[in-house]
Amino acid sequence: MKTSILNIICCMLITSVAFAQNRNNQIPVLKVQPNSTVAYSGNLANGKQIADLSWAANSSVACFPATKNQKFSGNHVFYTTTIPKRSEMFIKVIPKNKKQNFSLYAYQVGAANNQLPPNLSSCVTCEADYKWDYKRRGKTQDHTRQVHLNAINNPYKVVIVVVGAEGLTSGDFTLEIKLNGGEEMIAMTSEVKVTKIITKGAITTVNGNLNKGGLIQDLSWAANSSVACFPATQNKKFRGNHVLYETTIPKYSEMFIKVIPKNKNQNFSLYAYQVGINNEQLPPKLSSCVTCEADYKWDRKWRGKTQDHTRKVRVNAINRSYKIVIGVVGAEGVTEGDFDLEIEIKKR
């Protein structure tokens, strides 16, 4: 458990990487831990130009059109890393000289695929970013370039290439890689059962203890866009025992849910999601829901707001009633602790 918690701590590591690709074709292997950010420094002088860019416009690669080849005519500096399954990767290049014109591309291939441009015949996906030829309504661009990749059921090798535009062959830069998700999943220590609550009156209070729940190691469901409960960067706030409850919100009503730890020094989290009355899905096998709300300890203070040891969420129903599944959770590995769960229903 300690190792799992440490692996998801977001950090920034600056590492200098220097190599002579044009002499020995060695490509640095970059490492990034789940739910963390790393940064590596480099220089375009350590790369090489690629005269044949036809591979990029090939339909089986589809990285950038041939009309943009000039944006990739300078030195190409190669890196490789791995994107784990159930994760998103955000890649950004930051030129030291803001006036220098850089480009960036990254593609995903199988772990055993060693093809490199200009001999890349196909890939799972390739994303590129370069200086725009004209302004785009509602958007701005600075000297940085960035791309986004994701993996669902399988890990992939990722080849990242920092490029000088319009023949640029020298220039310092920082390559930043942010990985959301990607933790190694292990078996749950115990089955997480759900307790039904029948609300009585305006406010219903239930006593509980985290030791009645269980760990849910796979939290990828929460960051899924069809659930959108909490981002993978906050997984550590949900690494303790989950105690699940089920109740119903009537139509034309609002439900206010609050967990009150008996020990004010214990760190709790809370989530609640709405599904159809007959939906029996529970985490980690929740594929979608009407809405999901979560509350957890803030990483920083918010202007004009305060937070104590309690956690609270609100859900509502309009034209129909819904099943509400509530998760009371210990943050950062907490598996024991008494609490009161308070459910208040108000008519809309």
Tell me, what's the pLDDT at 23?
Answer: 38
Tell me, what's the pLDDT at 20?
Answer: 37
Over its length of 348 residues, how does the chain's per-residue pLDDT go in tens digits?
434 433 433 344 444 444 334 334 589 999 998 888 999 999 999 999 999 999 999 999 999 999 999 999 999 999 999 999 888 999 999 999 999 999 999 999 999 999 999 999 999 999 999 999 998 888 899 999 999 998 887 899 999 999 999 999 999 999 999 998 887 655 544 568 899 999 988 899 999 999 999 999 888 899 888 999 998 888 989 999 999 999 999 999 999 999 999 999 999 999 999 999 999 999 999 999 999 999 999 988 888 888 999 999 999 999 999 999 999 999 988 999 999 999 999 998
Residues in the chain: 348
Tell me, what's the pLDDT at 3?
Answer: 40
Of 261, 183, 280, which Cα lies nearest the Cα of 222? 183
Contact predicate 183/8, CB 8 Å: yes
Contact predicate 253/348, CB 8 Å: yes
Q: What is the pTM of this model?
A: 0.58
Tell me, what's the pLDDT at 185?
Answer: 57
**Amino acid at site 201:** G
Tell me, what's the pLDDT at 190?
Answer: 57
Contact predicate 219/271, CB 8 Å: no
Half-sphere exposure of 272 (CA within 13 A, CB side): 25
Query: CA-CA distance, 157 to 318, in Å (whole number)?
Result: 46
- Cis before 284 (ω within 30): yes
